Amino acid sequence: MAKIKPSKGSPYARILGVGGYRPVRVVPNEVILETIDSSDEWIRSRSGIETRHWANDEETVAAMSVEASGKAIADAGITAAQIGAVVVSTVSHFKQTPAVATEIADKLGTNKAAAFDISAGCAGFGYGLTLAKGMVVEGSAEYVLVIGVERLSDLTDLEDRATAFLFGDGAGAVVVGPSDEPHIGPTVWGSEGDKSETIKQTVPWTDYRDGEVAKFPAITQEGQAVFRWAVFEMAKVAKEALDAAGITADELDVFIPHQANERIIDSMVKTLKLPESVMVARDVRTTGNTSAASIPLAMERLLATGEAKSGDTALVIGFGAGLVYAATVVTLP
C-alpha cells in the first residue's frame, strides 16, 4: 500500500489584514418610514439602527467584494497573486452558478486561486474563517481570502414592519495566513435546523417563477423567537468559545458579535459579564444588519477608528438563518 505524503502547512494561522466596503448611499430611518407604520424612536429603541447603506446598480456583490478585498490584501502586505483560495459567504448573490467567488478571484488578479461560495447566513464569516484556518494549517493554501458580502436591500420587504428597517448592504474581507503562534482559536459552531422557520426566505424562487406568488421573495423572521435564542443560547456558545481558547472574559480586549440588533448585543454583554474595559462593536447603528458582512465590517471600523488596535484579543460570534452559529477568539490584525 502506497503512503500518502503528509501536508506541509503552517503550525498555526492568523488574520493578517482586513478591509471593508460600504455603499455610497446612506439611508436614514425616515426613508423606511415611508412604507411602514412606525417611528424613528421605535426603530432605534428596538434595534439601535439609525442609518444603513443600500447599494446602487454598480455596487454589485462582486464589485463590493473586490473593493473590500483589495483593502484587506494591501493591509496584509501581500499581493493578490499570493492568494491561494477565495471563500465568499453570501445569501444575496442571485446567480445559482457559477460561484461569485470565481469572478472575484479573477478580478483581483489571483493566480487561478481555488474559489467557492458558502451559504451560512449571518454565521457565514465564522464558517469561512474556520475553513481558511484549516487550509492554511493543512497546507492547501498559504493565504486565504475570506469575504462576507450582502445586498440585502434586494431581499427586503419594505412593507414588512418587522424587518424593513433591519437590513443593509456591504462587504467585509480578511486575509488569513501562516503564523508561528496560535491567533485563531477553536471554533464552536453548529446548527439548530428545528428552528429554521424563525428566519427564512418567504417563498422559494420557483413559486415566484411559476406565478404562484406575485411578490418577489424576501427575508422574514419571528423577531421575539430569534431574540430569545440569540440572547440565551448564543451567550452560552460565546462562553464555550472563550473556554476553548483558554481565556476568560477579563482577558478579552474586544467583543465583535454579529451586528443583528443592539438590544441583542447589550443582552449578550450582560449575560457574559464582560468588563467595561472590553470594547464592544456597535456598527449596527450606522450600517444595519449586513448578515455575513457584519463581523468583518465591524472589525474594520474598530481598527480604523482606533477603538481597537492590532494585537487585541477579540471574541467574534455570528448567528442567524438555519439556525446556524459560529464563535471563536482571534487576534486582530
DSSP-H helix ranges across the chain: 29-32, 40-47, 61-76, 100-108, 124-138, 205-209, 223-228, 234-245, 262-272, 284-287, 294-305
Indicate the SS3 state at residue 55. coil
**Residue 116 near residue 145 (C-beta atoms within 8 A):** no
Terminal Cα distance for the chain, rounded = 44
Backbone angles phi, psi at 310, to 5 degrees: -55, 135
Which of 173, 96, 75 has the alpha carbon at shortest distance from 132? 173
- Can you tell me the distance from the alpha carbon of 318 to that of 323, in angstroms, rounded to the nearest whole number? 11
Q: Are 313 and 250 in contact (CB under 8 A)?
A: no
Beta pairing class for 313-320 and 324-331: antiparallel
The amino acid that residue 48 corresponds to is G
SS3 21: strand
- What is the distance between the alpha carbons of residues 147 and 118, in angstroms, rounded to a whole number? 10
**Which active-site residues does the annotation give?**
122, 258, 289
